[in-house]
A and B are shown apart, each in its own frame.
Chain A
């Protein structure tokens, strides 16, 4: 039986067990990198840099982890903060609005268009909807990660979904199909 996250965290804290931390990184890397890819609108290189920074901050701040929340919730909160820091550091860029095709042709194009549509959302909306759907966090966990009231988190998710629905209307399957 593989050790739980709590066991591994304890081993890192008590003996600076690098192997235990490496296991935690391998276990959570996909979710953290996936979230950051969505937040960075599909920029894989930037997302990986931010994910690396996320795990480094997690290692340094592991004593601050309270076992009450899931470790993934705690890691996603750090990832979101790292992302926000990076957007503050980066010079504002004018993003060219790319036209979304009328009919998606394959899966990679759909992913690309979703990234474009996500890029038009406010960072908090983007994070909220990514956390709620792709990462399967509860609304309460989303609120904890974004450090906002539960009602605000629900509003962010609903608003983001409505914007995406409008933006990606071309993908909506017709009733004839």
Chain B
């Protein structure tokens, strides 16, 4: 014998019966209405540039390999295609890092 349904049963079930609503672009529309990001503080760009410059300085002068890099720079000034290009690799890496730092500073908006 089945229990006859009560008011409680059918109304509770009806009220609690709420399907999941698929997103279908809703979240993207919400994100599109958000205000633009606040601009970075004015001091961030010079700080980043200064930090990049200092890091380069440390790399060239203070670290043990600094003298070697200075030597590479001297070699580069008298560079001829016949000589090996291998010593230039650290210099290129350093330039690449410095370039990255400057780019990061310039994109601070």
Contacts and interface: CB of A to CB of B under 8 A. Distances in A.
Interface of A: 16, 18, 21-22, 25-26, 29-30, 33-34, 37-38, 48, 51-52, 55-56, 59-60, 110, 114, 129-130, 133-136, 161, 164-165, 168, 171-173, 175, 177
Given A110-B14, A134-B18, A56 B27 contact: no
Contacts, number: 73
Contacts of B38: 16
A48 B30 CA distance: 10
Given A30-B21, A168-B11, 9 more contacts: A16-B38, A25-B31, A29-B23, A30-B23, A52-B30, A171-B10, A173-B5, A173-B10, A175-B4
A172 B4 CA distance: 11
A33 B31 contact: no
B83 interface: no
B73 to A, nearest CB: 39
Interface in B10-26: 10-12, 14-18, 20-23, 26
Q: Which 5 A-B pairs have the closest CB atoms?
A: A133-B15, A134-B18, A30-B21, A25-B27, A175-B4
Nearest to B16: A133
B21 A134 contact: no
A52 B21 contact: no
B31 A22 contact: yes
A110 B15 CA distance: 11
A64 B93 CA distance: 47
B84 interface: no
Given A21-B34, A34-B18, A26 B23 contact: yes
B30 A34 contact: no
Contact of B29 (A52, A165, A171, A173): A52
Contacts of A30: 20-23
B33 interface: yes
B107 interface: no
B20 A18 contact: no
A21 B31 contact: yes
Given A33-B21, A51-B26, A171 B14 contact: yes
A172 B14 CA distance: 11
A29 B21 contact: yes
Nearest to A117: B14
A177 B10 CA distance: 13
Contacts of A134: 15-18
23 contacts: A16-B38, A22-B31, A25-B27, A29-B26, A30-B20, A38-B18, A48-B26, A55-B30, A56-B34, A60-B35, A133-B12, A134-B15, A134-B16, A134-B18, A135-B18, A136-B16, A161-B11, A161-B15, A164-B15, A168-B11, A172-B7, A173-B10, A177-B5
